[in-house]
Every structure is written in structure tokens, then in C-alpha cells.
Amino acid sequence: MTISSSPPDPREHRLAEVTRAVRGAAEGSSGTRVAEHVRTALDTLLTHLVRAHDRCQDVADRDWADYRTRLDIGLDDLRAEIARSTDPGDEGAELEKVLFVHCSRLELDGWRLHLDAVTHGVGDGAGDPRNVEDLVTYAARELDTYSRDGGATAERAADIDRIIESVRAGSATP
């Protein structure tokens, strides 16, 4: 008699992929003076992505693969920006801004994937997906302006953070 093992849980498998990718990005800064700060930012990102991907098993395989490609590219870009922002000879962006902008973009992309699934009739969303999609678009636009402008102030970052928190609250699953 052969005991067959049950197939892996698609949700757990996808969450494990995201966890490995985000934790791998943190490893790139280990041994540097900013390692703990980067690790904290990426742990926070991972927490938000896990929440955004609560219903990731409902996302079509192709959409998930596209998302994973974007996540990997985004994490590679983040690693490069961290290296530039911590190089004393470079005029790169400050580390705090780099982490805020990149982690926020990656989180918003995770919420877009969630909202796309909700909009197309799978998964659950507590809020009206159209309203939350508008918030995601608004947050992304504000983030782009923040990252380009010399007006990257703490107040502006706090405003963007509040918008993203509204996305989280509006996208919560029951």
C-alpha cells in the first residue's frame, strides 16, 4: 500500500516564494552598517505582502508568474539603490527614502494583484475594489512625485503612508 502525499497548498507555496524573495533581498545587505535597518524595512514589507496575498491561491498562474517577475525585478532594483545610497562616494538617494519608495511600490503592486483577483470575481475584499483601486493609483502617483521631487519631506511620506494604510484597510479580507 502506497501512501500518497497531498499536493502542496498553493497559498502556502506562493507565500513561501514571496518570503524567500524578500528575505533574500535582506541578505544582500548583511554585514553592512545598515543591515539591521534594511532587514527591518523588508520584514515590514513582507508582513504587508503576506496580508495582501491572503487569497493568492485564487490568482491565475500566469498573473502570479508576472507578479513574481515584477517582485524580483523590484527587489533587485532595491538592492542596487541600497548599495548606491550607502556608498560614501555616491550622490545617491538617502537610505530612508530608498527603502520607503521601493518597499511602498512593491507593496502597492501586491495590493494591485489582490484587487485584480477581487475585481474578477475571486477572493474576498471587505471594501469596494474600485475605491481601493483608486487609492492604489493615487498612492502610486504620489509616491512617484515624492521620489522625483526635491519635496520628499517627512510630512509627505506620512501622507503617502496614510493612503497606503487606507488601501490595507479597504482590502482587508473578513
Q: Give the domain ranges of the chain.
A: 10-171
pLDDT higher than threshold 60 for residue 91: no
Give me the chain's average pLDDT, please.
Answer: 85
C-alpha cell recorded at residue 172? 482587508
Stretch 33-42: mean pLDDT: 90
Higher-confidence residue of 75 and 125: namely 75
Q: What is the pLDDT, as a whole number, of residue 7?
A: 60
Average confidence (pLDDT) over 49-77? 94
Instruction: Report pLDDT digits (tens) over 98-135.
Output: 999 999 999 999 999 988 877 755 444 445 667 889 99
Whether the pLDDT of residue 52 is over 50: the answer is: yes
6-35 confidence digits (pLDDT tens): 567 899 999 999 999 999 998 877 777 788
pTM of this structure: 0.86
Question: What's the one-letter identity of residue 4?
Answer: S
Res 3 pLDDT > 60: no
Instruction: Among 96-105, 140-149, 164-173, name the most confident range.
Output: 96-105
Amino acid at 170: G
Report the share of the chain in percent with pLDDT over 70. Answer: 83
Distance from the first to the final alpha carbon of the chain: 42
Cell 532595491 sits on residue:
78
- Mean pLDDT on 29-54: 90
R_g of the chain computed on alpha carbons = 17
Residue percentage of the chain with pLDDT more than 90: 53
Q: Which residues contact 132 (CB under 8 A, 6 or more apart)?
A: 111, 115, 125, 167, 170, 171
